[in-house]
Amino acid sequence: MARESADERRKRADEVIRRLREHIPEARCALHHTNDFQLLVAVILSAQCTDERVNKVTPALFQTVKGPADVLKLGAAKLEKAIGSINFFRTKAKNILGAAQMLMDQHGGKVPANLDDLTALPGVGRKTANVVLGEIFAVPGIVVDTHVRRVTNRLRLTKELEPVDIERDLEKVLARDDWIISSHLFILHGRQTCNARKPFCGECVLRRLCPSRDLDPDAWK
């Protein structure tokens, strides 16, 4: 593919999102929840763990945990037992309890609607904060996980490897109205088609838009 201008890259990015929307109309947050605090807990649990595993654990937990006061009442031992099949469950339990205490002490028991306050909570980084902001408060933000990193590099929408740098690059090429949905689309596309070991380039709806088509899977690195 010839060298692109910034405008050409933005037009290609628009077409990428349009095609993915059409191909994956079910794209949305995969973590089950009924309120903002439950989503916060689920995203903390999802670090280095699959959404599928988290969704198997949280239904029983969320029967009693509706807000931060419920977690504090539950206590460390019972919380650890409830999430024991999750990777790093002790650390995550500690973070969830710490976040719950901060919410009670500093935010009246409510999940804050801004990046700085969210990332000040234990176990909450930009990725977690952007998930909560986008899903609960409709605040535009781009969630960068391993799938988003891989897919957007292969598409040459960025050449960066660090999440914050990728986020900044994507903000320049994606329409602001697409920031929230784009992450869900890239994640599902990465799972279904553009996977790490053997991307299905021949079946890909983005084939003609992708500079990495038919290259070695590691070539984008």
pLDDT (tens digit, 9 = 90+) per residue, 5-38?
Answer: 999 999 999 999 999 999 999 999 999 999 999 9
Amino acid at 31: L
56 in active site: no
Q: What distance in Å separates the CA atoms of residue 65 and residue 63, rounded to the nearest whole number?
A: 6
172 in active site: no
The verdict on 88 and 163 lying in the same domain is no
Please count the structural domains in the chain.
2
The verdict on 85 and 175 lying in the same domain is no
| Exposure of 210 in the CB half-sphere (CA atoms within 13 A) | 27
pLDDT score recorded for residue 181: 97
Mean pLDDT, the chain, integer:
94
pTM, two decimal places: 0.89
The verdict on 16 and 86 lying in the same domain is no
Which of 7, 70, 145, 198 is flagged as catalytic?
145
- Residue 14 domain-assigned (yes or no): yes
Q: Which domain holds residue 130?
A: 36-137
The verdict on 106 and 57 lying in the same domain is yes
pLDDT (tens digit, 9 = 90+) per residue, 64-107?
Answer: 999 999 999 999 999 999 999 999 999 999 999 999 999 999 99
pLDDT score recorded for residue 198: 87
DSSP string covering 47-72, please? TTS-HHHHHHHHHHHHTT-SSHHHHH
Last residue of a domain, one of 107, 137, 167: 137
The verdict on 75 and 165 lying in the same domain is no
Q: What distance in Å separates the CA atoms of residue 139 and residue 116, rounded to the nearest whole number?
A: 13
pLDDT score recorded for residue 216: 64
Are 121 and 101 in contact by the 8 Å Cβ rule? The answer is: no
The pair of three-digit structure tokens given for residue 22, joined into one six-digit string: 């059409």
Query: For residue 180, what are the contacts with CB-CB under 8 A and spacing of at least 6?
Result: 134, 135, 138, 140, 141
- Residue 198 domain-assigned (yes or no): yes
- Identify the CATH number of the domain in which residue 157 sits: 1.10.1670.10
The verdict on 128 and 189 lying in the same domain is no
Which of 92, 127, 169, 178 is flagged as catalytic?
127
What single DSSP character describes residue 142?
-
